[in-house]
Amino acid sequence: MIILVLNCGSSSAKYQVYDWEAKEVLAVGVVEKVTFPGSWIEHKAKGKSEYTEKQDCPTHTDAVNLIVKTLVDKEHGVIADMNVIQVVGHRVLHGGDKFTKSVIVTPDVLKIFEQVKDLGPLHNPANIMGIEAAAKILPGVPQCAIMDTAWHQTMPEASFLYALPYEWYEKYGVRRYGFHGTSFLYVAKRAAVLLGKEPQKTNLIICHIGNGSSVDCVKDGCSFDTSMGLTPLEGLIMGTRSGDIDPALPFYIMRKAGISPQDMETILNKKSGLLGITGQYSDRRDINKAAEEGDKKALLAQEMEAHRVRKYIGGYLAALGGECDALVFTAGVGEFSPWMREKFTHGLGRLGIELDDEKNKAAHSRNGEFIISKDNSPIPIYVIPTDEELVMTEDAHALLKGSYDVHTKFTYSFAGKDYVNKARAEGLKKDLEKNPELKKIIALPKQKA
């Protein structure tokens, strides 16, 4: 069985093709600048050289068509024709509080996505267009929706409600929803394996740090609280998003500077965060380089981001009553930035979180799971590369077969101690040749107690 997963953003369309029987990825890629002039596709296929082609994609339907053309191309493709694709999984940013798990898309499901798209105005319209485009190009093939928000539907009211008029929740669905759900699901299951514990008996603090960032407090294997809220704007300082601010601040600036609500929304989402502080950088690599060269604003941006992350780690440790099995870092910055992990954990030794500097410096790979804490650290620190596409793939397959259920009643392949990602295993061999120190920090599954 061949499974296609699509992640259609406002101006991009990412994809992955997976061979279910062989348990391996056949191809991955992305179409950039969708809806803008100068679109192009970047395509990586197993056993073939990387391929790039420029082609304007004024709509997401055009982008999906370009993906299809590339997948069946005789030279660069990986399948003979699209008839071999039996199911498509779609990332959907916001499902409101209507969905606690992934679903097969029906007209009624699409209606709900339309109803809640105001909650995710930058992403949900594109997600919907991706679903409609794939359904048009692949008629009769089941389309499945995997919601970022579904993982967080286990949060209790005390975690997800705001101290606002209760009728706003009843009438307009105003509440904390949380995001990065597929990432947290994958990482939580893998952390349980490494700890040798049953998922439902595992307490974790997971830091998904990328251009968009959030922290998840996992209690008894389920999301208990998370830093993002009604939208992905709340919480940590991010690449271009402000994160937590005084709610009165936007009104103050709108009055002072004559800024419209629409412009303020754009500023908070696209011109704030690390970009707002430094005035020119949102990429942590650029910020780190500037900081090393003595740029005061870059140094300030690093300290502000780290301070915010530490506050959430400490707060969630308190929410767990100190009973935390592990602190985990994932996503681009979490997986590849030793200097930021050091800043995120600085001064947390008295809370039982003790980073090993040498182990931390060695952990710089997306192909392995690593432990970077001191041997005597009461709370271990892991780096676990996320795999959102695999979650989407397994959900889509199970939905097609009728075996799917909420994650507390469903067993994922990666939740087993013998699970191996073939591509990452091959990649790790190459990484070990370049960096033998990685071998010392590879995290191996513990025996279950």
Tell me the per-residue pLDDT of 410-422, one tens digit each, with 9 for 90 and over: 999 999 999 999 8
Is 428 within the bounds of a domain?
no
CATH number of the structural domain spanning residue 230:
3.30.420.40
- Residue 432 to residue 341: CA distance in whole angstroms: 21
Q: Catalytic residue among 19, 97, 148, 387, which?
A: 148
| pLDDT band, very low/low/confident/very high, at 124 (cuts 50, 70, 90) | confident
| Residue-range definition of the domain harbouring residue 244 | 197-383
With left for phi above 0 and alpha for psi between -120 and 50, is residue 103 left, alpha or beta? beta
Per the domain annotation, does 390 fall within a domain?
no
* Domain total of the chain: 2
Is residue 75 situated within a structural domain? Answer: yes
**Do 137 and 253 lie in a common domain?**
no
Would you call 148 a catalytic residue per the annotation?
A: yes
Asked which of 345, 364, 383 is the last residue of a domain, the reply is 383
Supply the pLDDT for residue 27.
95
Tell me, yes or no, whether 190 lies in a domain: no
More confident residue, 120 or 289: 289
Phi, psi (deg, nearest 5) at residue 89: -105, 135
The residue with tokens 């500037």 is 290
Q: Is the pLDDT of residue 121 over 80?
A: no
Q: Tell me if 88 sits within 8 A of 4, measured CB to CB.
A: yes
Of 346, 365, 383, the position where a domain reaches its end is: 383
pLDDT tens-digit readout, 324-376: 999 999 999 999 999 999 999 999 999 999 999 999 999 999 999 999 999 99
Which range has the worst mean pLDDT, 3-7, 15-19, 39-43, 122-126?
Answer: 122-126
> Looking at the predicted structure, is the pLDDT value of residue 258 above 90?
yes
For tokens 């005035």, name the residue: 279
Is 224 found in the same domain as 132? Answer: no
* 370 and 237 in a common domain: yes
pLDDT at 42 (0 to 100): 95
81 lies in some domain: yes
Give the residues across from 330 on adjacent strands.
208
In a domain, 434, yes or no: no
Q: Is it the case that residue 380 has pLDDT exceeding 90?
A: yes
pLDDT average, residue stretch 3-24 = 92
- Which of 350, 368, 383 terminates a domain? The answer is 383
Average pLDDT score over residue span 398-421: 95
pLDDT at position 46? 87
Show Cβ contacts of residue 30 under 8 Å, excluding neighbours closer than 6 positions: 12, 13, 14, 15, 41, 42
- Assigned token pair, 290: 């500037």
131 with 20, same domain: the answer is yes
For residue 311, pLDDT beyond 70 = yes
Question: Is residue 395 situated within a structural domain?
Answer: no
- What would the mean pLDDT of 62-68 be, rounded to a whole number? 92
- For residues 210 and 109, membership in a common domain is answered with no
3-state DSSP percent of the chain in helix, strand and coil, to 5: 45, 20, 40
Considering the domain architecture, whether residues 234 and 365 belong to the same structural domain is answered as yes
pLDDT grade for 449, boundaries at 50, 70 and 90: low
Q: What CA–CA distances, in Å, run from 78 to 26, 115, 386?
A: 6, 37, 24
In a domain, 237, yes or no: yes
End-to-end Cα distance, the chain: 37
Average pLDDT, the chain: 94
DSSP output for 89-137:
EEEES--TTS-SS-EE--HHHHHHHHHTGGGSTTTHHHHHHHHHHHHHH
What is the average per-residue pLDDT within 176-203? 97
For residue 68, give the H/E element and its range: helix 60-71
Q: Which neighbouring-strand residues pair with 27?
A: 17, 45
